Amino acid sequence: MTARLAGKRALVTGASRGLGRAIALRFAEEGARVAFTYSRDEAGAAETLRALQHGGREARGTRCSVLDARGTEALVREIERDWGGLDILVNNAGVSQNLPLALLEEEDWDHVMDVNVKGTFLTSRAVVRGMIRRKGGVVLNIGSLAGVRMIEAPIHYFTSKAAIKGFTEALAKEVAHHGVRVLCLAPGLLEDGLGKNLPDHRLAAYLKHTALRRVGTLDEVARVAAFLVSDANGYMVGETVVADGGL
């Protein structure tokens, strides 16, 4: 096992399960101290924390919605006080609904856009301030293949992930001269999440056009995330990296 993230301090949002958990665990295995947030899943968060602390590793989990600006800022201040700062932020927390436009209520649109886009903004604002002061850090936003390719996906989810790509590029341009890199990772269908909940005919159609003829694993994407935030990737800024199995 490499230790590409040895000495790094990371915050991963939405890591009680799924891709967020996989990224948090991969970071810990590669040497980082990892803090994570979750919104509701107490049991899942406890399982993530146990795995992160395996072997005496230092980690912490906090229940905090990405839409709670005060709570997020307080959490970041606490981590910076205890750990001396944050080197890595992964904006992973997100939601979706499998609804067509005709059935979308205004509240559905607002909820997905708020969590996926506003939550990324609020968390980034809280963390990037300290990165700018310390003249270094990496923000990795978790986007989606929906948002960079024209595929069948819920319109509010698709729109929110397209916004994440734009947010990444704008923030990267703004803070790069402070030594802060901002990137976006856009996975295709994975073994959990949307890939697990798609109707069989839609999954079959996706796989038919994918070079590898399979969905991705959480750990495959987490490994890409670990490289993107590592010092080995120091010259990449503002890019959206697609990991989709060759669609």
Quick check: helix, strand or coil at residue 6?
A: coil
pLDDT digit string, tens, across residues 171-206: 999 999 999 999 999 999 999 876 666 778 888 888
Residue 1 predicted with pLDDT over 60 = no
pLDDT value of residue 195? 64
Query: Which stretches of 14-148 are DSSP H helices?
Result: 18-29, 42-52, 69-83, 106-113, 119-134
User: Distance between CA atoms of 216 and 168, rounded to whole angstroms?
Assistant: 23
Could you tell me which of 168, 116, 159, 148 has the C-alpha nearest to residue 244? Answer: 148
pLDDT at 155: 94
Per-residue model confidence (pLDDT) at position 150:
83
The predicted model gives 126-150 an average pLDDT of 96
pLDDT tens digit sequence for 223-243: 999 999 999 999 999 999 999
Per-residue pLDDT, averaged over 134-150, amounts to 95
**Which of 148, 130, 127, 149 minimizes the C-alpha distance to 139?**
127
Q: Is domain 9-190+219-230 annotated with CATH 3.40.50.720?
A: yes
Domain boundaries, the chain: 9-190+219-230
For the chain, percent of residues with pLDDT exceeding 70: 98
Active site residue 157: yes
Which pLDDT score, from 0 to 100, does residue 59 have? Answer: 98
Annotated catalytic residue, options 38, 157, 206, 235: 157
pTM of the model: 0.96
